[in-house]
Amino acid sequence: MSSESRPRAPVVSTKGPVRSFIINAWRVSLLFIFWHFVGALVWVRGHVRVPRWFGTDSREVAVRLWTIAWLTFVWVLLWGTISWANILAGLLLAVLILTVLPLPRVPVEGRIHPLSLLRLLISLFFDFFVSSAQVAWTAIRPGPPPLGAVMRVRVAIKSDMVLTLAVDYLNLVPGTMVVEIDHRRRMLYIHVFDVRTEKQVRAFYDQIAYVERMFVKAFERDSEWHPSPYHGIDDDFHGVRFADRERVMDVKRGES
């Protein structure tokens, strides 16, 4: 007699009636909680308006939340004790600071690519140690002193926040220091520790090109980068609404 023709034994549940009731009640409770949670989110989205200073899109809101978390963390560090009272006081103080003393709006644009960002961080640590060794050797080796100079270079980074991160990268690496930024033309004036030879000059420009390329890959690829409505706001456009700014830009295009 084949195994297929043999009658199968009836499946007997090993769960008792009490345990089955508890499991079913738990499942129904989860569905009930999830249903009402989604309904509450929909209601909040339709009736609760986020303050203007908190941001106009999800990326700016994320930056504000990060700022609140960071200020709270600093407040707890200042007190030196982790407690609910210090955490709540830090949260209230952070919200008060952002409300009473709002920081200038920084457009948040592009998208973070974790693998490219990890490669960028590895490059930062590598450049840090290599440049430190080069500066240390230049300081102790016999011979003429290093010839420093201020080099001018243009970068193709579009976002103000990403440009700030790139400037921080260059300032962290020994041997280079950004002394001035031309925001309009995206021009950086960088003091270089030693540029006595043509090879050192080429190495500096190769380093800037590599940093620029890696920051674009990590944050603002052309296929994903969309300018924020507040992109490019500076002294001329500060406080001007987006629609008004578009009219100003149209007038300038007509004049040119």
Question: Does the pLDDT of residue 99 top 90, yes or no?
Answer: no
Which of 16-20, 158-162, 236-240 is predicted least confidently? 236-240
Question: Does the pLDDT of residue 255 top 50, yes or no?
Answer: no
What predicted TM-score, i.e. pTM, was given to this entire model?
0.57
In the three-class reduction of DSSP (H, G, I as helix; E, B as strand; rest coil), residue 195 is classed as coil
Burial 150-186 (b: 16+ CB within 10 A, else e): ebebebebbbbbbbeebbebbeebbbbbbeebeeeee
Which of 28-37, 70-79, 101-110 is predicted least confidently? 101-110
Which comes out higher in pLDDT, residue 234 or 139?
139
Which of 36-50, 69-83, 196-210, 212-226 is predicted least confidently? 36-50
Residue range 121-154, pLDDT digits in tens: 999 999 889 888 888 888 888 878 888 899 999 9
